[in-house]
Structure 1
Amino acid sequence: MEFHPWFPTATGTILFVITVAFLFYIVKKSSAKRCKKREPPQAKGAWPIIGHLHLLGGSQLPHMVLGDMADKYGPIFTIKLGVHQALVVSNGEIAKDCFTTNDKAFASRPKSEGTKLMAYNYAVFGLSSDGDYWRKVRKIVMSEVLSQQRAEMVGRIQVSELRESIKDIYDAWVENKESENSDMVKVEMSRWFGNLILNIMVRILSGKRFSPNDEEGIRFQKVVKKFFGLMGAFVVSDYIPYLKFLDVGGCIKAMKKTGEDLDNIFEGWLKEHKIGRESTTQQSEGDQTFISVLVSILQGVSAEDFPYDHDTIIKATCEQLLVAGLDTTSVTLTWALSLLLNNPKALKIAQDEIDEHVGKDRQVEESDLKNLVYLDVIIKETMRLYPPGPLSVPHESMEDCIVAGYNIPKGTRLLVNLWKMHRDPNIWSDPLEFRPERFLARHKDIDVKGKHFELLPFGSGRRICPGVSFALHVLRFTLATLIQQFMLKRPSNEPIDMTESSGLTDSKATPLEGMVSSVGQGSNPAGDDLLRYLALGLVHRVSLGASSWAGPKDRFMGAGD
């Protein structure tokens, strides 16, 4: 038999091709394995269609559920929220990677029925996607509302509202003493904080203020409370879009109604401004309400420069500032006082510090705050243990990126578990304990303004809360004034209940109540003379002790919410 001369060559070629193909297969398989390893671990227990949603809908709060998952899967893992993938981060260094290296990638917000129906179809800039609109409106807010130029006006409003709120407590004590012949009166401090912050914010925005029995104020508080409840509610179509026709629990219907109610309030404020019937008279530019400022700015801007009409932008931005400042600030004050009542030694140190730097012959002033170091660390420790939002406002990746060495695809939602991160035992010794002193020693250089990633109550990066400085000032000034003017104790020997509730913010599950009694030094101020005493800083300290209160009924405390 005669062999063709090309047979050995052909055979060799075939063997070479097979060998190359085999090697290519091995390399590809190895590469696939390596790529798979670059994906963050996914939590087990996902169900078809709904993913891990069933794990977040039980009796345990979502941030605690995710915290337990972090113990099992590590500080970075993914979960499925219906059709959406979410990246959960519980570590400061990984959060730093998200908000520095990948800050632009994670600059967007996911869309939801809540922000569509109750936030002017995403016109509320804090909930809008990254883009020109967000940048322009944020710039206006930073330069016109939260600027140093307007700090003087804001300071005057805060001092005024604090004095009015102290007067409310004193009036209630006087009425109770006269009617019940008792030196003690029960005050719902969480409600007191809420009313105080509400009037500060509303006066800054519109020049209005709500008295305790004001119908508009009561209606507004109810609507805002409904808003926060619905923003934290489960809406099926947010996670499974093709089930949008299902309105389980009537959430979408309630959102539409709440959005309309909010719009009616803001529309009323705007109309009052337009017809010259603002509730306070303001002359200088520095005293203008935010609505006045925004109307003036937008008058010189073409409507084509924005995707929304001018009125919508004004109303949406009012909503943004109220939502950002109202519930979060009052919630933090409530937690701070709760922690102090459960830790009287820390409260005593704070009172002694104020007595040393301010004295007892005048009220705390803004210029005193820089000297109240212990007060500052109380606020830091409060926000470490109870960040206003235990889970960061969700971000969404606009492009593929790499976080902590893992591939994160475009469209992934980012949830930073601040509650878990702030209790990391690798960072914080005795992380579950209230120890303000930790910020005077090992962690003395840490602040809450987004640069120290162990502590991020206001977020970080380009989507950080724009009102950080304003919020800190309100917290410091309010708490300092309260501690100076009152002796504070628990209503009973039982510790204050520190149970958290579900919702958009980390609210206390039960109202914070205390008993107020005068321990006056000399004669007590009464009637119209009280304002003179307040102005001189001579309101006597009162004690939160143990008894009950029978009046006045429909003020800032007691039943009627």
Structure 2
Amino acid sequence: MEAMVLIYSSLSLFVVAVAFKLIIHHQTRTPKHLPPSPPSLPILGHLHLAKKPLHRTFHSLSQKYGHIFSLRFGSQLVVIVSSPSAVEECLTKNDVVLANRPDFLVTKHLGYNHTTVATSPYGDHWRNLRRISSLEIFSTNRLNMFMGIRRDEVKRLLRKLLRNSRKDFAKVELKSLFSELTFNIIMRMVAGKRYYGYGEDVKDEEEARQFREIIREAFANGGASNPQEFVPMLRWIDLGGLEKRLMRLAKRTDAFLQGLIDEKKGEEEGNTMIHYLLSLQKSQSEYYSDQIIKGLILDIVLGGTDTSAVTLEWALSNLLNHPYILKKARVELDNQVGEENLMNESDLSKLQYLQSIISETLRLYPAAPLLIPHMSSDDCTIGGQDIPRSTMLLVNAWAIHRDPKVWDDATNFKPERFECGEADKHKLMPFGLGRRSCPGAGLAQRTVGLALGSLIQCFEWERVGEEEVDMTEGNGITMPKAVALEAMCKARPNIMNNLFSEPVDYV
């Protein structure tokens, strides 16, 4: 009994000490002109206001406190901006100062102690990783080399849809199909392996199962909305066991990725990203260590799969709710590509309306509605407000994309707006801006463009019922749909024979 009293007394003293320290810190370090902020709670700050989905919560707060306002997540000061002018000031004038990333538990353990291109602080190491990403992984030449893989995986999707829809409309669930498509594309590019499918489509079922489980856990434990990320006491006691879970997951992930690298080291030649990076390792081992290669793979997989799958689901959902737009896109495809020729990536430059549909989808439903958080490395000002060093910056791209002061008819799906040149980079920012913008934007555009264009070209699409597709947003890092998309599809006869005439590349 005495031991319990001692423990509770110690915890109480600890809480009081932390609260006292925070008060003193706030009184002595807070600048005079911080962005406006709602009333906060001791220790927790504004964590109680962080209701999901966060982008909608922050949008509501901005209506009261302005386009630049601040919150305290525990001891961490967070500034949220939601206007093009503020974003331009952040990511042009203050681009270097705001080029750091916050230190989260997930980036510490899964991101090799904040050393991957997505998670590392701004500096020489990050510049080297960015150079590798831009020149060796996501260059036009490198993406062209893997064009056949993307085409093959899209054809596999089309054939799967064709099985039950040759003669009449068939109902299909598309969320899982899009996820399988994007993961198989990325993993074939990275390691030459498919991890979704059955029989001869997947060579090692156990390895595939391990990969799928690792990815599921990574997405389930990611994000910046865990309270223990911001309250030192909660992190110290590991409330909910988050850090232990992340440590176990990181160990499994590292072993899995190392296995892929070791396997490729035993092969004399190959045409995967791992093979290419290992060839560079022989002459530049300090730049292309196994750990750097594993970090690059992880960023590509986590950043380039679910985002594209979610975008495809939102895009087709919008087209089902706007059949006249779907019809206009099909007419463009028939005119530019032909009714009997399967489209290729090389056709995308001719399909301006299809590109406008994708841009409009990314405007209304950005896969990263708050982008990736930035962190200030020094004091700066935004819109006349003081932003202290070590402040987390969140850009509410979702709010900017739907701001009626920025966009005409802002909440309606109107691809035509991009035919009139509304795509100013500070108004439309689904891949971020500045130094820390997404290096894989080109790959995403190719994947989504080829897949969506092929679905429009090869099938007739209808809603399951008369009601419009539910466009409610669910909870998640990449803003998924709350209700998985189901639709009715029927193969177009002129294109059907081509789906069977070309061989599938079994890997």
Cα deviation, residue 208, structure 1: 1.5
Does the C-alpha gap of structure 1 residues 172 and 319 become closer, same or farther in structure 2, counting only changes over 3 Å? Answer: farther
Q: Which amino acid aligns with 1:414?
A: L
1:341 matched to which residue of 2?
320
8 A Cα contact 1:233 1:503, kept in partner? no
Decide which of 188, 201, 213 is 2:186's aligned counterpart. 201
Cα deviation, residue 252, structure 1: 2.0
Decide which of 307, 312, 337 is 1:358's aligned counterpart. 337
- Summarize deviations over 1:496-553 as a string: whole Å, max 9, x none: 111111221111122111233345359x65xxx9531579xxxxxxxxxxxxxxxxxx
8 A Cα contact 1:123 1:312, kept in partner? no
What is the CA–CA distance in structure 1 between the aligned matches of 2:500 and 2:68, rounded to whole Å? 55
2:18 matched to which residue of 1?
none
1:429 matched to which residue of 2?
408
1:505 matched to which residue of 2?
478
What is the CA–CA distance in structure 2 between the aligned matches of 1:132 and 1:417, rounded to whole Å? 28
The question of 1:189 aligning with 2:174 is answered: yes
TM-score by length of 1: 0.79
What is the CA–CA distance in structure 1 between the aligned matches of 2:218 and 2:31, rounded to whole Å? 41
SS at match of 1:98: helix
2:20 matched to which residue of 1?
none
1:264 matched to which residue of 2?
255
Q: Tell which deviates more after alignment, 506-515 or 371-380.
A: 506-515
Question: Where do residues 381-392 of structure 1 align in structure 2 (5 Å cutoff)?
Answer: 381-392=360-371
Q: Tell which deviates more after alignment, 410-419 or 292-301.
A: 292-301
Decide which of 42, 48, 54 is 2:48's aligned counterpart. 54
2:501 matched to which residue of 1?
532
8 A Cα contact 2:171 2:488, kept in partner? yes
Does the C-alpha gap of structure 1 residues 219 and 233 become closer, same or farther in structure 2, counting only changes over 3 Å? Answer: farther
Q: Which amino acid aligns with 1:467?
A: G
What is the CA–CA distance in structure 2 between the aligned matches of 1:153 and 1:79, rounded to whole Å? 46
Does the C-alpha gap of structure 1 residues 37 and 254 become closer, same or farther in structure 2, counting only changes over 3 Å? Answer: closer
What is the CA–CA distance in structure 2 between the aligned matches of 1:241 and 1:299, rounded to whole Å? 43
What is the CA–CA distance in structure 1 between the aligned matches of 2:226 and 2:217, rounded to whole Å? 15
CA RMSD of aligned residues (A): 2.3
Q: Which amino acid aligns with 1:39?
A: L
What is the CA–CA distance in structure 2 between the aligned matches of 1:357 and 1:95, rounded to whole Å? 37
Whichever of the two has the greater Rg, that structure is 1
1:320 matched to which residue of 2?
299
Cα deviation, residue 351, structure 1: 0.6
- Summarize deviations over 1:367-405 as a string: whole Å, max 9, x none: 321121111111111011011111121110001111112
Decide which of 33, 39, 43 is 1:38's aligned counterpart. 33
Does the C-alpha gap of structure 1 residues 459 and 211 become closer, same or farther in structure 2, counting only changes over 3 Å? Answer: closer
Cα deviation, residue 170, structure 1: 2.3
1:161 matched to which residue of 2?
153
What is the CA–CA distance in structure 2 between the aligned matches of 1:411 and 1:530, rounded to whole Å? 54
Q: Which amino acid aligns with 2:138?
A: L
8 A Cα contact 1:233 1:251, kept in partner? no
Decide which of 473, 488, 493 is 1:520's aligned counterpart. 493
Does the C-alpha gap of structure 1 residues 315 and 521 become closer, same or farther in structure 2, counting only changes over 3 Å? Answer: closer
8 A Cα contact 2:138 2:443, kept in partner? yes
Query: Unaligned regions of 5+ residues in structure 2, if any?
Result: 1-29
Q: Tell which deviates more after alignment, 122-131 or 372-381.
A: 122-131
SS at match of 1:41: coil
1:132 matched to which residue of 2?
124
Cα deviation, residue 218, structure 1: 4.0
8 A Cα contact 2:35 2:385, kept in partner? yes
What is the CA–CA distance in structure 2 between the aligned matches of 1:317 and 1:93, rounded to whole Å? 33
Cα deviation, residue 302, structure 1: 5.0
2:229 matched to which residue of 1?
238
**Identity of paired residues, percent?**
37
8 A Cα contact 1:162 1:196, kept in partner? yes
What is the CA–CA distance in structure 2 between the aligned matches of 1:74 and 1:87, rounded to whole Å? 11
1:88 matched to which residue of 2?
80
- Summarize deviations over 1:269-322 as a string: whole Å, max 9, x none: 112101228xxx73xxxxx3111121222232354xx6xx82111111100111
Q: Which amino acid aligns with 2:132?
A: I
8 A Cα contact 1:109 1:394, kept in partner? yes
What is the CA–CA distance in structure 1 between the aligned matches of 2:105 and 2:58, rounded to whole Å? 23
Decide which of 220, 229, 244 is 1:229's aligned counterpart. 220
2:449 matched to which residue of 1?
476
Q: Which amino acid aligns with 2:404?
A: P
Cα deviation, residue 132, structure 1: 1.3
SS at match of 1:232: coil
SS at match of 2:233: helix
What is the CA–CA distance in structure 2 between the aligned matches of 1:260 and 1:165, rounded to whole Å? 33
- Summarize deviations over 1:322-361 as a string: whole Å, max 9, x none: 1111111111111001111111111111011111111112
SS at match of 2:393: strand
2:423 matched to which residue of 1?
446
- Summarize deviations over 1:152-183 as a string: whole Å, max 9, x none: 21211111111122222223557xxxxxxx84
Does the C-alpha gap of structure 1 residues 367 and 36 become closer, same or farther in structure 2, counting only changes over 3 Å? Answer: closer
